[in-house]
Amino acid sequence: MPAKRTARVYRPTSANMARLAKVLAQGGLVAAPTETVYGLAADALNAKACRAIFRAKGRPASDPLIVHVGSLAQAETIAEFSECAREVAKTFWPGPLTLVLPKKSRVPSIVTSGLPSVAVRMPAHQLFRDLIRRSGCPLAAPSANPFGYVSPTTAEHVLTGLGTRIEYILDGGPAKIGVESTILDLRDPCRPALLRPGFISIKAIGAVLGQGVIAYRRKVRPRHAAIAPGMLEHHYSPRTPLILVKKLTRQSMGRISTDEALLFLKKPEGLSGKNIFWLTEDGRLEQAAHRLFKMLRQLDDGHWGKIHAELITGNASLALAVNDRLTRAAAVLPL
Ligand code: AMP
Ligand code: MG
């Protein structure tokens, strides 16, 4: 028998916001929108509540959570800020940038997977900020989806993925940015390093720091190597096999069967067919990021034999972010 749906979707009325904030303050879980994707939130200082996040998502305990705060002062209660971390936070917060910093002892070790550092961000979404303020808690919140599947950018996506595992979903419409935050390692202020590409570029961060940021490198790892906390290769994956291509040429497309889908950044000129999809009309990267996860879900529901996706060219931050999510979605689980 299929599991019973337990979740209810709440509109952001004042009464509902008060109710959901109370759920959070009392150690419950609430899925809520941020400007990047929908998050599954719990009081970050309540180890039991955070354990429930891992359980609901089926997320391995080795994958640490990002803690969301409402102010720099609140961030400083959970993490050690260097002068330059403060500078970066003041420039980019609220916004889609997560800082990895030395943690303070009050953060339960379940949140950081036992690491001595904590990932912290101040989101820009008004509803999420309102939940932080009303609950009085810093909120740990990974994406609100079963672990490993495509991240949710609407309340409907959350309901589809976690509807039988959680009770409360706040609907704030589609997430504006659509891909997860940029993650910057600032544990050592002299060696800033990009851990995940996102909307905010290392160029912009480097300009504030007055020094270069170590670029992101996806590590090629032997099959059975131990996985360091938070460095999972396989993520954001549709069930349909996803194949990445640098460039889909007419010749290579000729070999692809019509029951396999082709995904482009831009509507390809002179090509048509039921299996041709594109993320944008005009190649705007903001739109590509905004639509990416919804498109992967749509293709996954379309029962295609495979999905062939063309990587985006260039070094723009969102191009790197979209390619990173596509690459991880295409990675095969280690045996
Ligand atoms: P998300 O899946 O969007 O919730 O992002 C969580 C990711 O943040 C993890 O998978 C890690 O890659 C990263 N992260 C969180 N905490 C830490 C940490 N203390 N050190 C390094 N990376 C972290
Ligand atoms: Mg996630």
Tens-digit pLDDT profile for residues 252-282: 787 888 999 999 999 988 888 899 999 999 9
Which atom of ligand 1 approaches the CA of 231 most closely?
12
The alpha carbon of 230 and the centre of ligand 1 are apart by a number of angstroms equal to 5
pLDDT at 254: 78
Tally of CA atoms within 13 A in the half-sphere of 214 that contains its CB: 13
Which of 29-33, 78-82, 188-192, 330-334 has the lowest average pLDDT?
330-334
Any ligand 1 atom below 6 A from CB of 66 = yes
Which atom of ligand 1 approaches the CA of 141 most closely?
4
Q: Where are the alpha helices (DSSP H) in the chain?
A: 14-25, 47-57, 72-75, 83-92, 126-135, 155-162, 202-209, 250-254, 285-301, 317-330
Of the candidates 77, 135, 133, the residue with the CA atom closest to the CA atom of residue 106 = 77
Which atom of ligand 1 approaches the CA of 117 most closely?
19
Say yes or no to pLDDT of 332 above 70. no
Q: How do residues 289-318 score in pLDDT, each as one tens digit? A: 999 999 999 999 999 999 999 999 999 999
What are the residue ranges spanned by the domains of the chain?
8-215, 242-330
pLDDT at 232: 59
CATH class of 8-215: alpha beta
Bridge partner list, 100: 119, 185
pLDDT at 334: 46
Which atom of ligand 1 approaches the CA of 185 most closely?
21
φ, ψ of residue 279 to 5 degrees: the values are -85, -30
Please tell me what DSSP assigns to residue 237: B
Helices vs. strands in the chain: H and E counts, helices first? 10, 14
Mean per-residue pLDDT of the chain: 92
pLDDT at 255: 83
Say yes or no to pLDDT of 107 above 60. yes
Mean pLDDT of 162-182: 98
Any ligand 1 atom below 6 A from CB of 64 = yes
The alpha carbon of 110 and the centre of ligand 2 are apart by a number of angstroms equal to 16
pLDDT at 333: 53
Alpha-carbon distance of 318 to 285, in angstroms, equals 6
Of the candidates 169, 36, 241, the residue with the CA atom closest to the CA atom of residue 160 = 169
Any ligand 1 atom below 6 A from CB of 119 = yes
pLDDT at 225: 37
Q: How do residues 191-243 score in pLDDT, each as one tens digit? A: 999 999 999 999 999 999 999 999 877 654 433 333 444 555 667 789 999 99
Which of 70-79, 158-167, 199-208, 233-242 has the lowest average pLDDT?
233-242
Token pair belonging to 90: 């003041």
Residue 49, classed as helix, strand or coil, is helix
Any ligand 1 atom below 6 A from CB of 117 = yes
Alpha-carbon distance of 9 to 7, in angstroms, equals 7
Any ligand 1 atom below 6 A from CB of 195 = yes
Beta strands 139-140 and 66-68, pairing class: antiparallel
The alpha carbon of 66 and the centre of ligand 1 are apart by a number of angstroms equal to 6
Q: Where are the alpha helices (DSSP H) in 93-201?
A: 126-135, 155-162
Considering only CA atoms, which residue is closest to atom 12 of ligand 1?
230
User: Ligand nearest 120 Cα, by number?
Assistant: 1
Considering only CA atoms, which residue is closest to atom 9 of ligand 1?
230
Alpha-carbon distance of 227 to 105, in angstroms, equals 25
Considering only CA atoms, which residue is closest to atom 22 of ligand 1?
230
What pTM was estimated for this model as a whole? 0.94
Q: Which residues contact 124 (CB under 8 A, 6 or more apart)?
A: 34, 35, 94, 95, 96
The alpha carbon of 36 and the centre of ligand 2 are apart by a number of angstroms equal to 11
pLDDT at 234: 62
Please tell me what DSSP assigns to residue 235: -
Handedness of CA 252, 256, 261, 267 (dihedral sign): positive
- pLDDT band at residue 67 using 50, 70 and 90 as cut-offs: very high
Indicate the angle between helix axes 285-301 and 317-330, nearest 10 degrees: 20
Which atom of ligand 1 approaches the CA of 196 most closely?
12
The alpha carbon of 53 and the centre of ligand 1 are apart by a number of angstroms equal to 14
User: Using CA atoms in the order 229, 187, 74, 130, what is the torsion angle rounded to 10 degrees?
Assistant: -50
Of all residues in the chain, what percent carry a pLDDT higher than 70? 93
Alpha-carbon distance of 41 to 142, in angstroms, equals 7
